[in-house]
Amino acid sequence: MNVEGPTNPCQEDSCKGGSLCVSLNDTFFCLCPEGQYYNSSTCSKGKIFPGTITFKTSNVEDLEDENSVAYQKLHFEITEFFKKAFNNSDYGQTVIVKISLRTSSARSELRAGDKDVDVEVVNIFKETTELNETTVSNAITKAIEDNADVFTGYTEQDRCDYYGCEKKDQDNCASGLLCQCKSGLVRPNPQIPMCVALSPTCDDTCNAENKQQCLVRSNRSADCVCLPGYREDSHGACQPCAFGYSGVGCKDNIYLIITIVGIIAGILILGLLIALVISMSSKSKKKNVEEQNLIENDFHSLRLYETTGFSNPGADGNIFPKVRVNVPKDGRAQNPYSN
């Protein structure tokens, strides 16, 4: 039996006019370049209205996976919501930019299963539309009131902030290609309206040869720091860590701890060995004393035998042994040496 894997909803001719086919679980949609919307079979320039809408759902699993059933359901509900909210011939398309789970409030926690999800969207209208931020926001607010069981709020985002441009003129950055990028941001391509931050870099001297590395912080700043196992001295040079220390900035003292524990353990083991040797030596000495006493006793017995003819001294150490005498019933003792 042949088991086929999931098929890609996007086919070769699914999207036209320079658009990109984005596959969902079992369907797709066509995505045009930034600032444009897909209309039937072509991409058209439009006027954008970015913002964030809060969506209430009981299932947040796999929401960030575009190929999941949950994402496809959310995508359909969001796009249908805005299509009905505007109900305007100038409306072109709603593009979902980002999905993020919001921390539940105390009230929603009481209702099991309710989760608030923030969905960053860009609503795109015809370039010639007379709608503005106020009229668009009012239409969304009214639609939320009619669908309060699913949607809880909407936050408008400034178009200039979305493009990363300076807000200097009266058109409120209607064209992202013409607005001036904010300080520290650049437009990587003249055909791309978005202004982005260039990746921060360090000096050329920040390299492995000098025991240094370039770290990019979360605030988009770059710092040249010493490699792990090195620490910057008073002259700015990276020197090896002191004995027992390692890691970034020589803050990890695990090797020092291991060394101290090893020394203590070695001292304890050495003490046990010395105690064992002393104990064995004491036992051996005691045994030697007992053997010497036996030898001396045997020697005294031999000398006694040679000089007296007796081989066993008396109980009190006398050379004359005690003699057992049997006394007859008449009470007269007999001479044990008489024949």
The reply to whether 52 and 104 lie within a common domain is: yes
Q: What percent of the chain has pLDDT over 90?
A: 27
Any idea which residue has 């090893």 for tokens?
262
Query: Across the chain, where does the E strand assignment appear?
Result: 20-23, 28-31, 36-39, 42-57, 91-101, 115-126, 151-156, 185-186, 196-197, 212-216, 222-226, 230-232, 238-240
Give the tens place of pLDDT for each residue, 282-339: 776 666 666 666 666 666 666 666 666 555 555 455 545 555 555 555 555 555 555 5
Which pLDDT value is given to residue 306? Answer: 64
The mean pLDDT of the chain is: 80
> Please, which residues have CB within 8 angstroms of residue 214's CB and are 6 or more apart in sequence?
201, 202, 206, 222, 223, 224
Which pLDDT value is given to residue 4? Answer: 46
- Report yes or no on 12 lying in a domain: no
- Report yes or no on 13 lying in a domain: no
The reply to whether 235 and 265 lie within a common domain is: no
Give the tens place of pLDDT for each residue, 259-293: 888 889 889 898 888 888 888 877 766 666 666 66
The reply to whether 106 and 144 lie within a common domain is: yes
Query: Is residue 99 within 8 Å of residue 81, measured between CB atoms?
Result: no
CB atoms within 10 A of CB 134: 9
Closest residue by Cα to residue 240 from 249, 231, 248, 251 = 231
- Report yes or no on 339 lying in a domain: no
Give the tens place of pLDDT for each residue, 126-181: 999 999 999 999 999 999 999 998 999 999 999 989 989 988 766 678 777 888 88
The reply to whether 264 and 142 lie within a common domain is: no
> Please, which residues have CB within 8 angstroms of residue 111's CB and are 6 or more apart in sequence?
none
- Report yes or no on 10 lying in a domain: no
The reply to whether 64 and 135 lie within a common domain is: yes
Domain membership of residue 270 as a residue range: 259-314
Residue 70 has pLDDT above 60, yes or no: yes
The reply to whether 47 and 152 lie within a common domain is: yes
Which pLDDT value is given to residue 110? Answer: 43
Give the tens place of pLDDT for each residue, 232-264: 888 888 988 888 787 777 878 777 788 888 889
- Report yes or no on 76 lying in a domain: yes
Rounded to whole angstroms, how far apart are CA atoms 293 and 289? 6
The reply to whether 142 and 227 lie within a common domain is: no
- Report yes or no on 93 lying in a domain: yes
Give the tens place of pLDDT for each residue, 176-226: 788 888 887 888 888 888 888 777 778 888 888 888 888 877 666 778 888
Which pLDDT value is given to residue 157? Answer: 92
Closest residue by Cα to residue 48 from 113, 121, 103 = 121
Residue 104 has pLDDT above 60, yes or no: no
- pTM assigned to the model: 0.57
Which pLDDT value is given to residue 49? Answer: 94
Pairing relationship of beta strands 42-57 and 151-156 according to DSSP bridges: antiparallel
- Report yes or no on 3 lying in a domain: no
CA 143-129-32 angle, to 5 degrees, is 85
The reply to whether 127 and 228 lie within a common domain is: no
Rounded to whole angstroms, how far apart are CA atoms 296 and 119? 105
